[in-house]
Amino acid sequence: MALEDILRRIEADSKLSCEQIIEEARRRAESIKKEAQDRANALKEEILKQGKAKAREQRDRILTIAALERRKSLLEAKQEGIRTALQRALGSFVEMPVDEYKTLIRDMLLGAASGTEQVIVSPRDHELLDEAFFAEVNEALQKMGKPGRLSLSPETRPMSGGVILASGQVEKNLSFDMTLSLIQDDLEPEVAGILYSD
């Protein structure tokens, strides 16, 4: 084998080897490019997925807040409706004809008094509920088997109507204001329970 043949063979082998190296480099580059593309696609998908999840969370949070605000507004409207209805009821007691009003107070006293209390009323009722009224109530109490010694207290209290029964240090508040306040306190949780029962 001549030198020229050896050189040609070395050159051919080198060329083949270079082509193989270049081809291998191309394959590796293609593989790296594909891996990078796959990773980029996966990352893109993950980012989109996280973005969608975050958007869903934000949407859900906004919807929840809106629902709570709606319920809160509805509850406030219901409470205002209750307050308005109770104020009207209070007004109807205050504007009641005198005879009906006295009958209402008489019935309250007969139902709640033991028969020995002092009766505290509003300044308006202090003029309205006279000795004859208390004589009639005491007579009815005696017929019920009670002592029948109710008396009008010289003390008055600021209230819309009704009575406060005082016996020593103990008072039983039967004023319209207190009664309507208790009714309102009972109604508000019921209304709230209806609103938040979902």
* Lowest mean pLDDT across 15-19, 61-65, 103-107, 164-168: 15-19
| Cα R_g (the chain), whole angstroms | 46
Whose structure tokens read 């082509």? 19
Confidence of residue 197 (pLDDT cuts 50, 70, 90): low
Residue 179's domain is classified under what CATH number?
3.30.2320.30
Q: Which strands sit side by side in the sheet containing 151-156, from one edge to the other?
A: 151-156, 118-121, 162-167, 170-175
Residue 186 inside a domain? The answer is yes
Rounded CA-CA distance 194/19 in Å is: 82
Q: Is 123 among the domain residues?
A: yes
Given this model, what pLDDT does residue 59 score?
A: 86
Residue 131 has pLDDT above 80, yes or no: yes
State residue 35 phi and psi, 5-degree precision: -60, -45
For residue 127, what is the DSSP state?
H
Q: Is residue 95 part of a domain?
A: yes
Instruction: Calculate mean pLDDT across residues 118-130.
Output: 91
Binned at pLDDT 50, 70 and 90, residue 194 comes out as: low
Backbone phi, then psi, for 139, in 5-degree steps?
A: -65, -45
- Is the residue at 23 inside a domain? no
Residue range 157-180: average pLDDT? 89
- Is 70 part of any domain? yes
What pLDDT is stored for residue 198 in this prediction?
A: 54
Which tokens sit at 91? Answer: 């007004």
Closest CA to 176 of 126, 65, 101: 101
Write down the pLDDT at residue 119: 95
Query: What average pLDDT does this structure show over 159-165?
Result: 90
Q: Residue 97 and residue 150: Cα distance in Å, rounded?
A: 24
Confidence of residue 5 (pLDDT cuts 50, 70, 90): low
Q: Residue 170: which domain range?
A: 44-198
In a domain, residue 38? The reply is no
Give a yes or no: residue 137 inside a domain: yes
What's the pLDDT score for residue 86?
74
Q: Which residues of 149-167 are buried (b: 16+ CB within 10 A; e: fewer)?
A: ebebbeebbebbbbbbbbe
- Look at the chain and report how many structural domains it folds into: 1
| CA pair distance 164, 71, nearest whole angstrom | 38
What pLDDT was estimated at residue 44?
81
Question: Which residues contact residue 100 at a Cβ distance below 8 angstroms, ignoring those fewer than 6 apart?
Answer: none
Please check whether residue 26 lies inside any domain of the structure: no
**Average pLDDT score, the chain:** 83
Query: With a threshold of 0.85, does the pTM exceed it?
Result: no
In tens, the pLDDT along 50-99 reads 888 888 888 888 888 888 888 888 878 777 877 787 777 777 777 889 99
| pLDDT above 60 (res 101) | yes
